[in-house]
Amino acid sequence: MIYTVIDILGTIAFAISGVLVAMDKRLDVFGVFIIAFVTAVGGGTLRDVLVGSTPVGWMTQPNYIVIILITVIFSILFVGRLKYFRKSLFLFDTIGIGLYTMIGIQKGLDAGLLPIMCIALGTMTACFGGVIRDILCNEIPVIFRKEIYATVCILGGGIYFVMLQFPMNSVIAYVTAILCIIIMRLLAVIFKISLPNIYPKAK
Amino acid sequence: MIYTVIDILGTIAFAISGVLVAMDKRLDVFGVFIIAFVTAVGGGTLRDVLVGSTPVGWMTQPNYIVIILITVIFSILFVGRLKYFRKSLFLFDTIGIGLYTMIGIQKGLDAGLLPIMCIALGTMTACFGGVIRDILCNEIPVIFRKEIYATVCILGGGIYFVMLQFPMNSVIAYVTAILCIIIMRLLAVIFKISLPNIYPKAK
Amino acid sequence: MIYTVIDILGTIAFAISGVLVAMDKRLDVFGVFIIAFVTAVGGGTLRDVLVGSTPVGWMTQPNYIVIILITVIFSILFVGRLKYFRKSLFLFDTIGIGLYTMIGIQKGLDAGLLPIMCIALGTMTACFGGVIRDILCNEIPVIFRKEIYATVCILGGGIYFVMLQFPMNSVIAYVTAILCIIIMRLLAVIFKISLPNIYPKAK
């Protein structure tokens, strides 16, 4: 139940981030919807395709398409007001990546994959919707360029597998990992932590 | 039989649209062929991958690769004359999206998916070859920006499922839906109908 | 055994080519790793997805992820020195595409596909990691624009299937095809052979 609520809030936050990027590129209504849709479900779709879990998730669960459609309509109507919800959206987005990382990891475990592959799948679920969004909008994916985003998913996944080594209720480990991802991302944004720079000083 | 003819004409029209975009970017012969190929079969390939119908369609049907190869050779040789066939190409393209939409819908029905997902698959079959073409050529997909294209596929798919509610021969519904898509697209182009503008007036 | 060594050298060469393109775009550490990863395994992944061989190859073989990770770390640390290894890297890359083409062809034969499809899969395995790399870095794929690259894979695959028509040990045919690809690519680069120009003289 709580997972369902988080899932819906995460989907809405992801879809809105798609709407904003798409409207910035002045796409038409159909383009805005497609970008919102791939942002919200693209990561999970890529994961399902690579694992071979087909038909992919959203095809058998029509609620996603409906939630995203409603989100797109409201976002277009009230796009001017979206900035007042910036903090809420950031929070939903952050909670969303926590949950999606763990959903992806669970899918990997179900497929009998190694922990490192499960973490890769979790990170993909949480982050690659945004990658596909940026590719479709002709931009280099933002998560390859700035801000700690994927890294917290990887760390959170690592924490989960470390916890599983101890005698611990797996639900507790699951929820703790989600909370760790959320907290790490909040701290990274608040303290402006970024990945170490690997380039010589800008000219 | 008639479907086969339409399929071939549609494949040729899609491949030529790929050749034109690729030559506009001055790609080499291999690049032009690949772009023509993904334009023609990319939508159906994406559909097959998402549904899990693998090996994907064109791998077991070598006629597509041959038709596209011949189309590419002739298009490159006679690229200067292609403009005289602009209207025929537009017509083949339009007939093609009608057929491909319904082929995609049929695939969805075979996989036991809901009508809304079948329509999504139909639209994907008809339109996403062009999306992959534009991405590979480093452009924002044209169907996200202008002209009613995907929308007529969605409407045509909707009409098909409405017709299925009535006691009606399913072949008649199938053909009627294709004709509706073709007519709607022709009307949209003739009367320059486009999706409602969601942006404030251009500065 | 010799195949394993070639595979590792090829993976390293492909990953480094990814690192160089990614650093040229000034991506962050995570972005550089992802680009290196898709360059190295992207072609095989696409092949596995289209054939329906899932979970895709790298998910069940953790050695790739480890080799690529180490390659990325060393490449970033010693990026200034990479130019001294330019010739070795070119050689590994060339040997790599020879091997990967044949691995792809073998996968196609295992799936019972026609020779022409096997050659397509082989070319995809060898070349499409670079295509995905370029798309993620917002460039038109370099193999669509210049240099004979995919063409030698196609020719090498053709030579393999011609040899299979004769009473010949299939391992010998396999190795000969790899050598043909390597030699053709070396000759193409040494003698600056490129695909025939299909455009009128540049203005």
- Model confidence at C124, pLDDT cuts 50, 70, 90, reads very high
- C62 φ, ψ to 5°? -65, -15
Q: What whole-number distance in Å separates Cα of residue B27 and Cα of residue C106?
A: 30
pLDDT at B183 over 70: yes
Whether A126 contacts chain C with CB within 8 A:
no
Please indicate if any CB of chain C lies within 8 Å of the CB of B76: yes
Tell if the CB–CB gap between B151 and A65 is shorter than 8 Å. no
Q: Do A198 and C76 touch (CB under 8 A)?
A: yes
Inform me whether the pLDDT recorded for A202 exceeds 70.
no
- Model-level ipTM above the cut of 0.90: no
Asked if A59 and B113 come within 8 Å (Cβ–Cβ), the reply is yes
Establish if C26 touches chain A: CB-CB under 8 angstroms.
yes
Other beta carbons within 10 angstroms of residue B185's beta carbon come to 25
Q: Which chains touch A (3 or more CB pairs under 8 A)?
A: B, C
pLDDT band at C173 (very low <50, low <70, confident <90, very high): confident
Residue C172: which residues within 8 A CB-CB, separation 6 or more?
none
Q: What confidence score (pLDDT) does residue A4 get? A: 77
Taking CB atoms and an 8 Å cutoff, what residues of chain C touch B30? 143-144, 150-151, 195
Tell me how far apart the alpha carbons of residues C145 and C147 are, in angstroms, rounded to a whole number.
Answer: 7
Average pLDDT of A3-29?
Answer: 85
Task: Verify whether the Cβ–Cβ distance C198 to B55 is below 8 Å.
Answer: no
Domain borders along chain B are 2-190
Contact B27 C140 (CB under 8 A): yes
Say whether pLDDT at C196 is over 80.
no
Instruction: Give the Cα separation of C150 and A66 in Å (integer).
Output: 43
Q: Which residues of C touch B65 (CB under 8 A)?
A: 116-117, 120
Q: What percent of chain C has pLDDT over 90?
A: 35
State both tokens at A22. 């798409």
Q: Quick check: C119 pLDDT over 90?
A: yes
- For residue B149, the model assigns a pLDDT of 83
Contacts of A59 (CB under 8 A, 6+ apart): B50, B51, B113, B117, B120
User: Residue B31 and residue C145: Cβ atoms within 8 Å?
Assistant: yes
Q: Is the pLDDT of residue C97 over 60?
A: yes
Residue of B nearest to A55 (CA): B51
Helix-then-strand count for chain C, H and E: 8, 0
C111 and B55 in contact (C-beta within 8 Å)?
Answer: yes
Question: A63 at the C interface (CB within 8 A)?
Answer: no
Task: Count Cβ neighbours within 10 Å for each residue of B145-180 and write b for 16 or more, e otherwise.
Answer: eebbbbbbbbbbbebbbebeeeeeeeeebbeebbeb
Asked if residues A24 and A138 have their Cβ atoms less than 8 Å apart, the reply is no
Decide if B49 contacts B24 (C-beta within 8 A): no
Sign of CA dihedral C137, C143, C147, C152: positive
pLDDT digits (tens, 9 = 90+) for B100-151: 899 899 889 988 899 999 999 999 999 999 899 999 999 888 888 876 888 8
Chain A (43-62) residues lying within 8 Å, Cβ to Cβ, of chain B: 45, 49, 52, 54-56, 59-60, 62
Among A19-28, A76-85, B107-116, C127-136, whose mean pLDDT is lowest? A76-85
Q: Which chains, if any, share at least 3 CB pairs under 8 A with chain B? A: A, C
Of A50, A135, A138, the CB nearest to C55: A50
B198 close to A (CB below 8 A): yes
Task: Using an 8 Å CB-CB cutoff, list chain A residues near B114.
Answer: 62
Assign B146 to helix, strand or coil.
coil
Answer whether A196 touches C (CB < 8 Å). yes
Q: Is the pLDDT of residue C123 over 90?
A: yes
pLDDT tens track for B159-169: 999 988 888 88
Residue-wise pLDDT tens digits, A18-72: 898 888 888 988 999 999 999 999 999 999 999 988 888 889 888 899 999 999 9
Mean pLDDT of A146-161: 88
How many Cβ pairs within 8 Å bridge chains A and C?
Answer: 70
Cα separation, C17 vs A10, in Å, equals 36
Residue A114 forms contact with C (CB below 8 Å): yes
Which of C28, C49, C60 lies nearest to residue A144, judging by beta carbons?
C28
